[in-house]
Amino acid sequence: MNANIPVDLTRLTGLMCVSAPEQRTDMDGQVRKDRDGNTLWVTGVALRRAGTRKASVIDVQTSAEPVGVAEGTMVGLTELDVSQWEIEGRHGLSYRAASIYPRPAEAAKPSRTTKSEA
């Protein structure tokens, strides 16, 4: 039960870093590496499914340090996959992306104005 499932990023909106990137470590505090020897990074990202109010926060793992990404930064993701895992009776979902990068904040929508009665 460890298949990677691609996520349709066009259905997500409002991606924001809520936990700055940090090196991923194991239970002993040792830095984890991928199969190619690259340091693994984990970044907390808040997101919403387009057209809904419900937001979620996910930890996204990358093999490259997300440069320029800090708490509060609007971000973009490339090649986001989700996989289901189970270890010793515990289970959950893990998210992995090829990269996380800073994006300019979306332009604010103009506020509605009403004509004042004179």
Where residue 3 falls among pLDDT bands split at 50, 70, 90? confident
pLDDT at site 112 = 47
In a domain, 71, yes or no: yes
- b vs e for 41-67, b when ≥16 Cβ sit within 10 Å of the residue's Cβ? bbbbbebbeeeeeeeeebebbbbbbbe
In a domain, 116, yes or no: no
CATH of the domain at 73: 2.40.50
pLDDT tens digit sequence for 74-93:
999 999 999 998 989 999 99
In a domain, 65, yes or no: yes
Q: What is the pTM of this model?
A: 0.82
| Overall number of domains in the chain | 1
In a domain, 82, yes or no: yes
In a domain, 114, yes or no: no
Over pLDDT 70: what percentage of the chain?
86
Domain with 40 in it:
5-102
